[in-house]
Structure 1
Amino acid sequence: MRLRAMLTTLCLLGGMATSLAAAESETAPNVILIMTDDQGIGDFGVMNNPVIETPNIDALARDSVSFDNFYVSPVCSPTRACLMTGRYNYRTRCIDTYLGRSMMDPEEVTVAEALSKAGYATGIFGKWHLGDCYPMRPNDQGFQESLIHRGGGLAQPSEPRENDRRYTDPILFHNGEEVKTKGYCTDVYFDAAMKFMKREHDQHRPFFAYLATNAPHGPFHDVPEDLREHYAKKDMNQIAIAKRKGKGSQAEADKLARIAAMITNVDQNVGRLMKELENLGIADNTIVIYMVDNGPNSRRYVGDLRGNKGGVNEGGIRSPLWVHWPARLEGGTAREQLAAHIDIMPTILEACGVTPSSDHRMDGRSLLPVLLDKDADWPERTIVIQSHRGDEPKRYHHFMIRDDRWKLVHPSGFGRESFAGDPKFELYDLADDPGEKRNLHKQKPQVVARLKEAYDKWFDDVSSTRPDNYAPPRIHVGSPKENPTVLTRQDWRGGTWAANSIGHWELYVEKPGSYDVTLLFDPSDQPETATVTIGDDTREATVKPGQRTCVIRDVLFPGGKAQLEAVLRGGKEARGVYQASVERGA
């Protein structure tokens, strides 16, 4: 039964004269989902980090229900696809983090879409990383309010060139429109989220706010200076795993000080957020969830675990999960049940009284029963985590599968697309060896065989969700919902982020006809020729030395599927553009 219908029935049965909107505000919980970027499981005081200060998050954790065995993917986009859909990311076409492989199929149903249909106000603030163009933007996928950056972060080829790699006063996108903001990026996201929460509370609407910071993701050139100075006075190398000497040690200490500054800035904002919930009088019936998207972005403290971002050892894929809901949950308690990012959507929906569509198959299961009762029935399960570079998954490449006790892993390397041959499996008894120090592969062949068989069934299943399961989604152009469309290296195919790389964009042209294509590129000291090719039409323009942009008008775009390429030729070699803006004429 939908939330609105349930609340209407309650109002009628109780003879209540209050409006439905007021009843929703009093009954339905608000939800705030906070996920930081590249913050590892050990980057908290409450996780015994000896240096990084997180007093507000520590207080939140102490008053929450915590999960001791919660898993995420080893890199950004896969975790976000799982989080938003309750499904393994291999079902969603989201395979990697860039080069056209971090776009999620628009047919996927997100937690924001489900909550929006049930009467919730929905907002995202920070990092989306599941597609920058229609129909894959957050506003196309259920979020009514969005303030985000493009791509995987600021200071990447997806950002407007004018942003100039800024984290402070960044150029962001509010509901699809470019806006100039004031302040450090994390502060900006929290400010916007709190403004959204107050507005929706004043209008008596329950809200879902997804706060996904790009901090402490690199680069680390622009961090809160007062906090950087604070950590510069500390011995940061005591949390570094790889010990260096001389200048290497100084450089590592400086990087860790900058990362710590970004983390403590997040913590300060969490403190502001919790105070705002108290001020609004909604702290008790607001669910606050805190987690991270993958392991730490350097080899640093992860407690008794080992590994970091990109790896499938525990340090790369374990996240804290703290769920704070004073109205219903007993804070300061822990759960040992095996859980993962795919469980967040079903948990939120059940907590909010929202029944998902019957044709939306989720891989995750709701954690609400064990949140309410640590002894609730929880059938044994297996969790699979796999992620690596490339256009589609390879069987046994860089994966782990685990049950309540055993973990089978093949850490063949994120970024090692050349993996081939027989996998060298490792088996660990996580009940006795959470640090994965004793490989029992040879001693326990039956366990290996059982988990390998379970992995094979999983891989076959997630790979057959669609007939063309791993084909990347296409960017739509010519739609009235986005015109112009800005194409960046984040989503192009066949190229890289290297300066002279050449790629192309896979498009779906909704309306054939004449389009203007504006090219942005770094200036050259020699004349060049800019060429745009789509279908059978190729157009050229002369580019003068020092020129940074040019417009090629009246390019004929065919309808349907098409491939667009833009190349600069002249000087030493051909090169691709920085970005291309495609605009359909009237």
Structure 2
Amino acid sequence: MGWADLGVYGARDFATPHLDGLAAQGIRFTQGYANSAVCSATRFGLITGRYQYRLRGGLEEPIAGAGDQLGLPPEHPTLPSLLKARGYRTALFGKWHLGALPKFGPLKSGYDEFFGNTGGAVDYFTHKAGVAEQLPSDLFEGEVRVDKAGYYTDLIAEHGQAFLRRQTAAQPFLLSLHFTAPHWPWEGPGDGAVSRRLRSLNHTDGGSLKTYGEIVAALDAAVGRVLATLEAQGLAQNTLVVFTSDNGGERFSNTWPFSGQKSELLEGGIRVPTLLRWPARVKPGQVSDQVLISMDWLPTLLAAAGGAPDPAYPSDGANLLPQILGQAPAVTRKLFWRYKANAQRAVRDGDWKYFQTAGNEFLFNLAQDSRERANLAEREPGRLAQLRADWQAWNAGMLPITDDVRTYKISGKVQADRPGN
């Protein structure tokens, strides 16, 4: 999802009333980031609260398909496993994409329930990870492959609603709804016939701005139904709701005013919509400039639940609960990214950003130049050198990017297999 794909962030071509309403009821963050410029790498950061580059599977950009032996180690603490240890009921409905069964899976990493796809992209109607007739569905109930009729966005929401109807105020829960929308293939709710004509599951195959708007509108409506069920169950007041994306936009997305897209460490590839609502504790109608990133949610949500990360696996994220509750001012962050395609590197330190691609270095002041158009490297050589050194020092503590690491480049070829083809 592009940063401006919601009405509250500037979308003009379609409406997102339910997500706009969610923003009005809590906090809209203007400087929320994904841990990576592609999906599964960010998901490693989200579920572990650590830089994905600490795990071999997290180096993949994104992780490969069902035959791969890389994934999230079941023994690694996760947000669901740590909450489960505190008595929470946990469920994931939607996209997993952190390693294939039978070696990896949601039920092995802290979730009590799972319905969804284990890989990356799936057709919204056939729920297959490709277009070949003989391919099985990549849809699982627990660890059993299933076939279900229906538009995938709606199926995910229906499972979320059913889960909520089984909950009570006495039982704390974590519900992860990992919609694939608005990921390709470009199929709105009325495009069942289109799915039969696709040559591949690929962002370049078919689609239009109109179709993209229908995909986002269906997502917005699904979120609205889930929130209505939460309200009907009497659980909305003390439930913390977060909405965000695992990378920036591509092809039909709106990333204005930023440059770049998915697979790039420019702002358009990593800055994402981020909303939070918690009626019992958070005042409505807020807009926050606090810089945050996917891996911050583990320490933050654990703190809200009265817990903390496993000390043997300290979080690289920050506990931002004091900032969310208005108990402390915004904190300055220093965040790091890397991406194999074009040898990309990035550091965000306060208002400053260091960016390198294909050996070319850039220095941007994001407060003055959110478009990343004015390279200040020659004007600020000392700052450039410092941020370069900071990145190198951080990188030395991460797993190296070796030749066997696969990566996805949206504007060019893909090394090894592209998930979904």
Alignment TM-score, normalising by the size of structure 2: 0.86
The answer for the alignment partner of 2:256 in structure 1 is 303
The CA distance in 2 between the partners of 1:322 and 1:338, in whole Å, is 13
1:95 matches 2:59: yes
The answer for the alignment partner of 1:80 in structure 2 is 43
The answer for the alignment partner of 1:60 in structure 2 is 22
1:369 matches 2:369: no
1:134 matches 2:102: yes
The CA distance in 1 between the partners of 2:293 and 2:416, in whole Å, is 33
Deviations 1:94-152 (A, max 9, x none): 11213348622333211011011110010101101001123321110001100011311
Q: Which amino acid aligns with 2:164?
A: M
The answer for the alignment partner of 1:225 in structure 2 is 190
1:385 matches 2:350: no
Contact 2:129 2:419 in 1 (8 A): no
- Describe how 1:241-390 pairs up with structure 2 within 5 A: 254-298=207-251, 300-373=253-326, 376-388=328-340
Deviations 1:443-480 (A, max 9, x none): 1001101111111111011238xxx99999xxxxxxxx
1:208 matches 2:174: yes
1:428 matches 2:374: no
The answer for the alignment partner of 2:199 in structure 1 is none
1:218 CA drift (Å): 1.1
1:158 CA drift (Å): 5.1
One of 4, 8, 13 as aligned partner of 1:46 = 8
The CA distance in 1 between the partners of 2:232 and 2:83, in whole Å, is 25
Q: How many residues align?
A: 394
Q: Percent identity?
A: 31
The CA distance in 1 between the partners of 2:357 and 2:190, in whole Å, is 38
1:67 CA drift (Å): 1.8
Cα–Cα, structure 1 residues 445 and 343, in superposed 2: closer, same or farther, change >3 Å? same
Cα–Cα, structure 1 residues 273 and 379, in superposed 2: closer, same or farther, change >3 Å? closer
RMSD between aligned residues = 3.0
Cα–Cα, structure 1 residues 308 and 117, in superposed 2: closer, same or farther, change >3 Å? same
The CA distance in 1 between the partners of 2:28 and 2:419, in whole Å, is 42
Q: Which amino acid aligns with 2:115?
A: L
| Secondary structure in structure 1 of the residue aligned to 2:353 | strand
The CA distance in 2 between the partners of 1:201 and 1:142, in whole Å, is 20
Greater fraction of residues in strand: 1
1:460 matches 2:406: no
The CA distance in 1 between the partners of 2:103 and 2:94, in whole Å, is 19
Q: Which amino acid aligns with 1:58?
A: D
Structure 1: state its 5+ residue gaps.
1-38, 230-250, 390-395, 413-422, 473-493, 500-577, 579-586
The CA distance in 1 between the partners of 2:168 and 2:132, in whole Å, is 37
Cα–Cα, structure 1 residues 407 and 224, in superposed 2: closer, same or farther, change >3 Å? same
Cα–Cα, structure 1 residues 299 and 313, in superposed 2: closer, same or farther, change >3 Å? farther
| Secondary structure in structure 2 of the residue aligned to 1:268 | helix
1:261 CA drift (Å): 1.0
Q: Which amino acid aligns with 2:374?
A: R
Higher relative contact order (CA 8 A, sep 6+): 2
| Secondary structure in structure 2 of the residue aligned to 1:425 | strand
The answer for the alignment partner of 1:184 in structure 2 is 151
Cα–Cα, structure 1 residues 433 and 158, in superposed 2: closer, same or farther, change >3 Å? same
| Secondary structure in structure 1 of the residue aligned to 2:166 | helix
Contact 1:197 1:207 in 2 (8 A): no
1:144 matches 2:112: yes
Q: Which has the larger radius of gyration?
A: 1
Contact 1:305 1:436 in 2 (8 A): yes
1:260 CA drift (Å): 1.4
The CA distance in 2 between the partners of 1:376 and 1:67, in whole Å, is 16
The CA distance in 1 between the partners of 2:86 and 2:404, in whole Å, is 32
The CA distance in 2 between the partners of 1:216 and 1:276, in whole Å, is 23
1:224 CA drift (Å): 0.9
Contact 2:120 2:419 in 1 (8 A): no
| Secondary structure in structure 1 of the residue aligned to 2:370 | coil
The CA distance in 2 between the partners of 1:348 and 1:338, in whole Å, is 16
Contact 1:40 1:297 in 2 (8 A): yes
The answer for the alignment partner of 1:441 in structure 2 is 377
Contact 1:71 1:317 in 2 (8 A): yes
Q: Which amino acid aligns with 2:179?
A: T
| Secondary structure in structure 2 of the residue aligned to 1:309 | coil
| Secondary structure in structure 2 of the residue aligned to 1:225 | coil
Cα–Cα, structure 1 residues 450 and 101, in superposed 2: closer, same or farther, change >3 Å? farther
